[in-house]
Structure formats: C-alpha cells, structure tokens
Amino acid sequence: MAANFSNPVVRWIDHRLPIFTFLHHEAHEYPTPKNLSYWWNFGSLAGIALVIMIVTGITLAMHYTPHVDYAFSSVERIMRDVNFGWLIRYIHMNGASFFFIVVYIHIFRGLYYGSYKAPREILWMLGVVIMLLMMATAFMGYVLPWGQMSFWGATVITNLFSAIPLIGDPIVTWLWGGFSVDNPTLNRFFSLHFLLPFVIVGVVILHIVALHRFGSNNPLGIDVKGQKDTIPFHPYYTIKDAFGLGVFLIFFAAFVFFAPNYMGHPDNYIPANPLSTPAHIVPEWYFLPFYAILRAIPDKLGGVLFMFGSIAVLFVLPWLDRSPVRSGQFRPIFKIFFWILLVDVVFLTWLGGKPAEGTYVILARFATAYYFIHFLVVLPALSIFETPKPLPKSISEPVLGAGGGFAGATAAPREKV
Amino acid sequence: MAETHEGDSRRDFLIISTTAVGAVGAACVAWPFIDQMNPAADTLALASIEFDVSTVAEGQSVTLTWRGKPVFVRHRTPKEIEEAQEVPLDDLRDPQADSDRVIKPEYLVLVGVCTHLGCVPLGQKVSDPRGDYDGWFCPCHGSHYDSSGRIRRGPAPLNLAVPSYEYISDTVVRIG
C-alpha cells in the first residue's frame, strides 16, 4: 500500500511521519467513481472558497479596528489607502456570497442524488453543521464594517433570541454585553468571526474523513462494484476540479472587478446610527429564504422556531427519505418534487427581499408550508408509494453494455483498508 | 465474592464522586468565561441619565440616549392624552391603562425600541409617519403604537417599554 517514493528525502521523512503516504492514498490513488458529473465539482470549490476567505480575512484583520468609533473609518481606509485594500476587501465581500452559492449548489446536488442516504448520513449531517457555522460566521462578519445594515442586522438577529420564554432577555443582554448592540458586541463578533472559520476547517476535515470512508456518491447513486468502476483521483479529478475552478474564478472575478457591490446594500456605506433604523432592513441574499420563513409566521417565537426548524429538518433528512434508491434519475416522482422544492426555495429567497406586508406575507406562508411538507410529508410518503425505475447493475454497465458487467467480480462495497 | 462486590461498590463510589467533583470544578471554571460576556461595570455605571422635561414644548418629541438605546420623551397635547385615556382596555393586545404608563400625563417617557425585533419606530419628527393611532410606526415590520406607546396593530407583542424613572424636581426626571 505504501507508495514508492523515488526522492530519498521524502522516503526518509515518510518512514518517520507517513504524511506522503497519507496524501498519496487520499488525494492521488484514491479510487473515485468514474461517472462523476460537473455537479461534483462544488465540494472542492467550497473548500477553495473557504481558503480564499481565510487568506483575505487574515489580511483584512491586519488593517481593521474593532471599535465602534473606528470600525467604519478603518474599513474605508482599507478601501482608499491600504495598498490593494479595495481588492482584498471586495474579494472577501463577494467571496462570502460565492461561498454560499457554491455550497447551496453542493447541497441541492446532494438532495437530488440522495447523497445523504446510508452509509453517508454522518457525512451529510457534518455538512449541515458546516452550513450553520458558515451562517454564524457570515452574520458576524457582516456586522464588522459597522454600517447601518451591520448595526440593524445585528440588532434584529440578536433580538430573535428574546423570543425564548423566560430566559430570552437575559440571553440577549449576555450576547450584547450591554443594553443594546454596542462596542462590546462588535468586539466579541470580531473575535468569533476570526475563530469560526478555523472551526469550519476542522469540521471540513471530518467531512472529508467521512467522505473517504465510503467514497463519493455518483450520478447513478449505486455502489461502486469494483476497480472497473473507479479511476484514481489524480490526475482525473484533480484536472476536472482545476478546470471547474477556472470557470468559477471567471464568474467570481466578474463580480469582484465589475459589480463588487451588486450583492450588497448601499445602506451599509452609511455609518451605524443607533437612533435611526433604515426603512427597509434586509439581510444578505443568502439568508433571505430563512428570513422569509421567519416573517411568514405571525408569532415571534413561532417564527424563530420555524426558521431554525427549516435547517434542523435537514439533520433528520436521511431518516425521512427511506427510499432505498439514492439517485433522483431513477425516481420519477421524487424528481418532480425535487424541482418543486428548488423553485419553492428560490421563491422564498425572492419573498425574503420584499417588504413583509399584504400578498407577500400570504405567499410566504404557502411557500413555508410547502418547504416543510416536502420534507415531512412528501419524502416519507414517496418512500412507500413510489416505484423506482430499474437500476443498472454497475456504473460501467450503461456505458459498456453487458460486457461492462463484472462476471464473477466480487461485489463487496469498497472499504478503506 | 462478597469481597469483590464490596470492592466494586467502593470503586463505583470513587468514580462517581471524582466525576461529580470534576464536573462541579469544570462548571466553576466555565462560569467566569460565560459571565465575562455580561455587561461590564463601566457599562452598568452609565445606566442613568437626567433630563429637564420643561424644555420640550407641547406637541414636541425629543429623543435621548440611555443605555445605548433611544428614549422618547413626548409632551403630549390634550387631544393625545384624551385618546390614550379613552381606549377600552379590551381593545389592547397588551392591556395597560394610560395612567399606569405616565407619572404626569403631559409627559410620556418611553424606550424607543420596537418590541418585535428592536428597530426604532418613527414618529419623533414632525415629518415622520405616526401610524394609525397618533403614536409611532415601526417601518421594519409594520407595528403601530398609540399615543401612549401601546401596541395596536402589527407583529410586536408588547407595548413600548416605560423605563423606570422619577421626578427629582418639578421638571427634572432621572431615568434608570
């Protein structure tokens, strides 16, 4: 199993610290299903987005001042005076949005191809944990420039906790470190915004460990039957991921250089004023579906519970969808409902950006109801009533015909040795 | 056999008591790290302000800052006072008589923070919308407050809070 390294220094180190063997095993010869489509690029893209955020974030922290009197001006100084500060900040700002774009695509990929099903439940749940950590990190990062949206976003979101009966208000005071969002709040948010990305790195490592236990799922959703179904990760998927990265960077650079504020709010270029609330408070776009759910419920505590519930339901998804077939390709009815869910979430995103009044509220209620019905009613029901299409015998069979089958091949699922 | 049994329970006792003492110790160490996030002494020290209400003309409103939050002081007109007093308590979501919310009926003192999600309601400036009840209107999610600061319509669950305050002379109030 140990790779044969020609470089004597590498061999000497590897004998004492088998880091090269480990990398060879997990990133080079690592057998990957040979039928992965471009939808499988988004995991590695998410990892790269995380690295981009950490590098630009650490750089920005070298120039940023976490104090209510200086935060806004220090960000403006980064934009105007610090060498390439404008570039680094715009990469960080848009990087957050692109991180969410990539992760949301990654999640919907998993939803369509049943990547959350046995034996990948913990892999999936770790992914949901990463998403929650990303949301907390993004929220606290948005507070740091101390503009109007920063301040009032922080006020509204921390006030969500006041909905908790009895201990709600003490919790909010504790989160603020005062009687309103103020300097102590800004300081702790900066501290945590710096910490959490490294926590994300830790969970990402667990995510990859869980992934490599059984290997990637694939568009057919069937288990790898043997060596004929796999190719080594390097060079086949490293080159495919690199190509995907190039395409991703084209879109990313287009925003950074030509529309850096497209996904932001002009109000955040007004310094925070605790005595005046902007007329229309909206969170960043990636929170809008959850914000729509929050506002759809006419009760304060209820709204908060449904909002968190919309993510909590993902944790138990592997036990709600009991169908033994993973891939949506072989589930004719599931496939339809998948697209309805996607439309529903996009619709919620749109509604979240609209004022909470009149028809928008009614529509948001229907869309919220449908979101929960999909997970709590439709998926369990489909597991019982849907007749899936016949599955191919192996990954190779649909391509190579019957000859691609494995006469006498040991059909044991691949296990890491 | 009996001896082994005795030894087992002695060992169990040691394990349970050691774990319990360890858990209490860990909780004691954790507390300072949790409590450091609560308001610090200097934050608490800034917790009261004084204000001369006679500087507010009839019909005028002023906004003060108290504990980092806006406090509304409105010198109410007789019409506003009458409206506030005449509302039947059954019509209110958070029933409270106007007389329980003021010390002198002319001067209404409120924490200017919407009880929904903490925005600052509009209605302090002459040009602001005052909602449908001659009080305040919160633009964030559309809550209407009346001329006593009570919630009348919209998602907010409670009336605008009345801070604890007292008259330390005929015209000067101390808030907090």
* pLDDT tens digits for range A313-361: 999 999 999 999 999 999 999 999 999 999 999 999 999 998 877 899 8
Q: Measured between beta carbons, which residues in chain B are less than 8 angstroms from residue A184?
A: 37, 39-40, 43
pLDDT confidence tier of residue A305, bands split at 50, 70 and 90: very high
d(CA B124, CA B126): 7
**Angle at the Cα of A66 from the Cα atoms of B31 and A137, rounded to 5 degrees:** 70
Judge contact between A156 and A167, C-beta under 8 A.
Answer: no
Q: In the predicted model, what is the mean pLDDT of residues A121-148?
A: 97
Judge contact between A186 and A144, C-beta under 8 A.
Answer: yes
CB–CB contact A274 B38 (8 Å): no
Judge contact between A27 and A212, C-beta under 8 A.
Answer: no
User: A195 is written with which tokens?
Assistant: 């910490």
Q: Which range (A209-213, A360-364, A391-395, B139-143) has the least confidence? A: B139-143
Q: Is the sign of the CA dihedral A275, A281, A283, A285 positive or negative?
A: negative
Predicted local distance difference test score (pLDDT) of residue B125: 86
Q: In the predicted model, what is the mean pLDDT of residues A270-282?
A: 88
Give, as one character, the DSSP assignment of residue A27: I
Distances (CA, A) of B139 to A307, B38, B129, B147: 22, 30, 9, 17
In this structure, what are the phi and psi dihedrals at residue A147, rounded to the nearest 5 degrees?
-90, -175
d(CA A138, CA A119): 31
CB–CB contact A276 B118 (8 Å): no
The full DSSP string for B98-144 is GGGT-SSTTEEEEE---TTT-PPPB-SSTTS--TTTEEEEETTTTEE
Q: Cis omega (within 30 of 0) on the bond before A119?
A: yes
pLDDT confidence tier of residue A279, bands split at 50, 70 and 90: confident
CB–CB contact A178 B43 (8 Å): yes
Q: In the predicted model, what is the mean pLDDT of residues A258-282?
A: 91
Chain A: closest CA distance from residue B17 (Å): 31
Predicted local distance difference test score (pLDDT) of residue A417: 42
Q: In the predicted model, what is the mean pLDDT of residues A368-393?
A: 96
pLDDT confidence tier of residue B116, bands split at 50, 70 and 90: confident
pLDDT confidence tier of residue A216, bands split at 50, 70 and 90: very high
User: A71 is written with which tokens?
Assistant: 């935060």
pLDDT confidence tier of residue A399, bands split at 50, 70 and 90: confident
Predicted local distance difference test score (pLDDT) of residue B1: 46
Chain B residue with minimal CA distance to A275?
Answer: B70
pLDDT digits (tens, 9 = 90+) for A222-257: 999 988 899 999 999 999 999 999 999 999 999 999
Judge contact between A144 and A96, C-beta under 8 A.
Answer: no
pLDDT confidence tier of residue A402, bands split at 50, 70 and 90: low
pTM: 0.87
Q: In the predicted model, what is the mean pLDDT of residues B144-155?
A: 90
Predicted local distance difference test score (pLDDT) of residue B6: 62
Judge contact between A365 and A301, C-beta under 8 A.
Answer: no
Tell me: pLDDT of B7 over 80. Answer: no
Chain A residue with minimal CA distance to B155?
Answer: A298
Which residue reads 């929904």 in tokens? Answer: B116
Interface of B with A in 59-98 (CB under 8 A): 63, 65, 67-70
pLDDT digits (tens, 9 = 90+) for B135-148: 999 888 788 999 99
Predicted local distance difference test score (pLDDT) of residue A409: 45
